[in-house]
Amino acid sequence: MNQMKLWMLAAILVIICGVCVITCCGSEDDNPVVSPTDDSSQFVTLTDVVPDAILEIRYYGTYNFVGQRIDGYEEPTALLTKQAAAALKEVSDDVRQQGYRLKIYDAYRPQKGVDHFVRWAADLTATEMKPYFYPNLDKSVLFEQEYIMEKSGHTRGSTVDLTLFDMATEKELDMGGTFDWFGPESHPDFCGNPETGEYTGENSKSSATPKSSITEQQFKNRMILRRAMLAHGFKPLDTEWWHFTLKDEPFPDTYFTFPVKQLNK
């Protein structure tokens, strides 16, 4: 009799535990796996693959919207997953035939760097760089308008921020706006249609300043970069003309934590 009671109690516990797993944890879709790791074995130093790339790693220096070096940037180098770097080599070869080189502002970004952005955005008194990057915005709206978020595709290792360097003029190609400008002027569809490459000259962004615009040549310059990136496997972001992510990124659910510095071969 006692043995029967024990079996019944065990069965009840199994049922209870099973219900708990279903109701407390939810499905995998409701709770996607987001894994942090410091494993850099599937990354490369970008210039080892794309030696023609020019690096201006903004978050290693102080000329950025925070105004100081960002946590996790220990050396002024760029890292990417092997797959993203290989695709970017194809982009580099493409634009070189057109007279340009790639200039990299940021690539892989450790989660520590994203956390630094979040802390900075929460401090509404830290506005030293406002005139240079967000003069038309109150800092209090940066979270609301998603200029700052707690997660970034850069942390997955297959996203890059870049522009074009004109080899004839030996200057950056004029894109009509600076990297990391917080505003509608940074959107790829500002004053034109990025799907067709047509320049309209119309400022359809209601939140932009009335006289804000870019020229037809500036819009065309943005399209040169965009076409090359899309042709070689990258997808754009609808709020930043400089931001692209590998379509078939190898680690869509992994956020890396190792610092930005030269990788040991």
Which residues are known to be catalytic? 240
- Length, in residues, of the chain: 265
Distance CA 112, CA 243 (A): 20
Compute the distance between CA of residue 30 and CA of residue 191 in angstroms, rounded to an integer: 38
Residue 161, annotated as binding a ligand = yes
Residue with tokens 């894994």: 35
Residue 116 marked in a binding site: no
CA pair distance 194, 177, nearest whole angstrom: 16
Instruction: State how far the Cα of 10 lies from the Cα of 5, in Å rounded to an integer.
Output: 9
Nearest alpha-carbon partner for 148 in 164, 126, 131: 126
Separation of alpha carbons 144 and 64, rounded Å: 20
29 annotated to a ligand binding site: no
Show binding-site residues for Zn(2+).
154, 161, 243
Residues annotated in a binding site = 154, 161, 243
